[in-house]
């Protein structure tokens, strides 16, 4: 009986330790907050490439598109095809969103460009400043600007 109780206690301690390690591993994954303001297609493309690679390596990624960077989220916007994959920054944005990345234009983008949310490609939202501030202040957040 004593041996059984000892084994149960050891099992419980092991389970608690494993759960603690799992929680610690989740908390240590970085949050990557990517802000794209550049109109330059190669810069926009590299922001998307690095976002995709970060997701593949376990980071939680969120993208904010502002100013000329927001243009890649517009339906029908002129796009530049980039080598070597022959893909546009807008197509890469779609790919990264397909990986679960949240992408939004900044709150000032649409009203200052005479556009509405209907002009955005599917899946792109409009950022709410209090939510963005919370994301930026979250533990383990790294900010990248392009």
What pLDDT score was predicted for residue 85? 95
What pLDDT score was predicted for residue 7? 56
What pLDDT score was predicted for residue 28? 75
What pLDDT score was predicted for residue 75? 96
> Per-residue pLDDT for the chain (146 aa), expressed as one digit of tens each?
666 555 555 555 454 545 544 444 456 789 999 999 999 999 999 999 999 999 999 999 999 999 999 999 999 999 999 999 999 999 999 999 999 999 999 999 999 999 999 999 999 999 999 999 999 999 999 999 99
User: Residue 8: helix, strand or coil by DSSP?
Assistant: helix
Domains recognised in the chain with CATH numbers = 29-145 (3.40.1260.10)
Helices 89-98 and 41-56: crossing angle, nearest 10°? 20
Residues 6+ apart with CB under 8 A from 78: none
Continuous segment of H or E residues that includes residue 133: helix 129-137
Q: How many CA atoms lie within 13 A of 2 on its CB side?
A: 0
CA angle 128, 110, 63 (to 5 degrees): 50
Continuous segment of H or E residues that includes residue 104: strand 102-105
pTM for the whole structure: 0.81
Continuous segment of H or E residues that includes residue 62: strand 60-65
Q: How many CA atoms lie within 13 A of 141 on its CB side?
A: 14
Polymer length of the chain: 146
Q: What is the C-alpha to C-alpha distance for residues 108 and 83, in angstroms, rounded to an integer?
A: 32
């Amino acid at each position: 009986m004593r041996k059984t109780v000892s084994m149960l206690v050891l099992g419980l301690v092991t389970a608690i330790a494993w759960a603690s390690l799992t929680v610690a591993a989740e908390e240590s994954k970085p949050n990557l907050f990517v802000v794209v303001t550049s109109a330059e297609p190669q810069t926009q493309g590299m922001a998307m490439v690095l976002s995709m690679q970060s997701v593949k390596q376990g980071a939680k990624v969120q993208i904010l598109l502002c100013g000329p960077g927001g243009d890649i989220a517009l339906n029908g916007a002129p796009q530049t095809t980039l080598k070597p994959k022959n893909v546009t920054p807008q197509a890469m944005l779609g790919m990264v969103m397909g990986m679960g990345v949240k992408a939004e234009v900044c709150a000032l983008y649409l009203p200052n460009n005479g556009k509405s949310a209907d002009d955005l490609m599917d899946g792109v939202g409009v950022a709410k400043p209090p939510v963005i501030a919370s994301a930026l202040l979250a533990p383990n957040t790294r900010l990248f600007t392009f």
